[in-house]
Structure 1
């Protein structure tokens, strides 16, 4: 089993006008692994990709492929010799070349060898019937598959993908993502995918590197990133959040939903208890004198409905809480649209709450 990373970047830094847009980024990608650089626009994702591709030079750090240095601040292998495939949002197909000639672009070998590889790749993406078609006669999804075939035709060891699916409509996107992922896995390439969409990262990645302000703030499997977030911003990047503030005393903080542990936080310091709307539960059996809550659900607290909206497969209900007038949001499966002004009791899933020191400012 392969134990050496196919791609490794060490302490990459890129500055513009004295500001580090990529700030000491390190990561590795194994053969056959899909790693996603996930983060908001402007966080340094695409700049990192351009440095790996060789179209942007780093100010510090190094890039390695299969254990061999390909670029640092003194030594640089040119982009065309790095065995790296590229896919971008706009597909970048040549409009004056047929589908077959687009896929053949960049291939070496005899004419027959190139033709055989083109046919193999177009069959793999189910577009063999469009060998002689022009790109403008294809749909967006078909153009994306041609771009994938072209990128994989030279058998790159590494595939870099920069928001490759964002130009597709929502209905088509999921199918194209799944088809692309299957082909990439077959080729055993190391894949580095850039996206700002958490759903795309969760769907495609074996590992997510969450970026913010030029830094990787957390790395791990999609499950780990979602269920053990590093901070409040990491929780909020994947979903809406509710935030309950409290002050610590004896490693505990009091809230309307009972006490929460805050280990390692000094007495007197404020903490933020973060919970996703799907884990704020409405207690339909309680009207103030109902059954006692379970330890997992903590103490019920009352809120008054501000508004309710049906979102397609769930309903979003906003409550103004009695204890401090704050607004908390809950999602409920299917249709649940209580009238504004209706009081309801709420509980929270303690095992689904995250406790962080309060942000200053």
Structure 2
């Protein structure tokens, strides 16, 4: 569901941009509502940070329009400077002024009487758990404390929009989850619209109301995290969020035969090469009982046999890699807890057909959405 038109804080429309003749953004459009966190997610070099700089006003797009709070701030004829846009900025290096105390850092961008500025800084420092650190200098704080101070400073002027560029990447893994959760709580309380750049799918899934998945300067898919994860637009989108297994097949009479049974593939021409995608956690394993294992359920299709090539325990789950008898391909399955069969152990694998996606091979064509296996 998109934001109510009256609640839209930011809209970018058909943004295009180039560097030295190389296209880095092409036709990028998105909207951001009050209190909404949208994550720009994608690999390094896909255009995420360039789009953030264009929204902030530190860079001007070649084509398209940027609208903040219903007001055009940048198009072909006008370009409002960053300080006039009412947008907060928060980056991975925190950018705190080393010569100012923490309370002075938080109050730096505020206007009005000194007592009011001091009170706003004090209240925000209390909200981020730094009420006892206002008199310290940045170098006297830990990385997590500096991150919280930077958040307080970014929120102090009550910006309707906050841009965050990989703000948690410099934090210790042990602290990151807790600080992300605390940050999200504060942003929701403030009603701030947030555009967050990250290359980590887990971070986007954890923080975002919406994810805009970018690749090669374009947004290839937008939606709620659940929908993006469970309805990937193509193989690469599925692969960005988790490991995948790929099973190849050829279409005949609108169906594809595989060692795991038949998959319906309507809309694809005969002899088209397809890829059936399934994540490791959706593979089901049973021990080979002389070919007489338990009968599969209809949703599991037909079991196929493989032999364990490697098994590893990862703390909360086990990863089992198998070499399949039918073609020597490698498939990977995960199960909760400890499951470490010895190499060479025969196992029957079956697929959760409701969790499979079928795509034509990329060299032929790319579908806008997958076929769910039937």
Q: What range is the shorter-chain TM-score in? A: over 0.9
Displacement of 1:359:
2.1
- What secondary structure sits across from 2:239 in the alignment? helix
Partner Cα separation in structure 1 for residue 19 and residue 90 of structure 2:
25
**1:250 matched to 2:253:** yes
**1:95 matched to 2:102:** no
Displacement of 1:286:
4.6
Displacement of 1:358:
1.0
Unaligned runs of 5+ in 1: none
- What secondary structure sits across from 1:21 in the alignment? strand
In structure 1, the partner of 2:197 is: 194
Unaligned runs of 5+ in 2: 365-374
Query: Normalised by the size of structure 1, how large is the TM-score?
Result: 0.98
2:227 to 209, 216, 224: 224
Q: How does 1:131-146 map to 2 (within 5 A)?
A: 131-146=134-149
1:17 to 8, 15, 20: 20
In structure 2, the partner of 1:58 is: 61
The answer to whether the Cα contact below 8 Å between 1:14 and 1:22 also exists between their aligned partners in 2 is yes
The answer to whether the Cα contact below 8 Å between 1:247 and 1:269 also exists between their aligned partners in 2 is yes
Partner Cα separation in structure 1 for residue 213 and residue 150 of structure 2:
27
**1:306 matched to 2:309:** yes
Could you list the runs of 4 or more consecutive aligned residues of structure 1 that deviate by over 2 angstroms after TM superposition? 1-4, 284-287
**1:272 matched to 2:275:** yes
CA RMSD in angstroms comes to 1.2
**1:32 matched to 2:35:** yes
1:84 to 78, 82, 87: 87
**1:237 matched to 2:216:** no
In structure 2, the partner of 1:148 is: 151
Q: How does 1:155-174 map to 2 (within 5 A)?
A: 155-174=158-177
CA displacement 1:256-311 (0-9 Å, x = unmatched)? 00001112111110100000000111024754113321110000000011111111
The answer to whether the Cα contact below 8 Å between 1:287 and 1:344 also exists between their aligned partners in 2 is no
**1:44 matched to 2:40:** no
In structure 2, the partner of 1:117 is: 120
CA displacement 1:14-64 (0-9 Å, x = unmatched)? 101212111110000000000000000000000000000000110000100
- What secondary structure sits across from 1:296 in the alignment? helix
Partner Cα separation in structure 2 for residue 123 and residue 287 of structure 1:
66
Q: How does 1:64-79 map to 2 (within 5 A)?
A: 64-79=67-82
CA displacement 1:50-109 (0-9 Å, x = unmatched)? 000000110000100121101112101110010100010111111111001110111111
Partner Cα separation in structure 2 for residue 286 and residue 122 of structure 1:
63
State the aligned residue count: 361
In structure 2, the partner of 1:128 is: 131
**1:358 matched to 2:331:** no
The answer to whether the Cα contact below 8 Å between 2:286 and 2:293 also exists between their aligned partners in 1 is no
In structure 1, the partner of 2:370 is: none
In structure 2, the partner of 1:3 is: 5
Displacement of 1:148:
0.2
Partner Cα separation in structure 2 for residue 359 and residue 303 of structure 1:
28
- What secondary structure sits across from 1:128 in the alignment? coil
The answer to whether the Cα contact below 8 Å between 2:288 and 2:347 also exists between their aligned partners in 1 is no
Partner Cα separation in structure 2 for residue 156 and residue 227 of structure 1:
34
> Residues 302 and 107 from structure 1, CA distance in 2 versus in 1: closer, same or farther, beyond 3 angstroms?
same
**1:185 matched to 2:192:** no
Partner Cα separation in structure 1 for residue 100 and residue 290 of structure 2:
70
Displacement of 1:112:
1.1
Partner Cα separation in structure 1 for residue 84 and residue 195 of structure 2:
18
The answer to whether the Cα contact below 8 Å between 2:287 and 2:293 also exists between their aligned partners in 1 is no
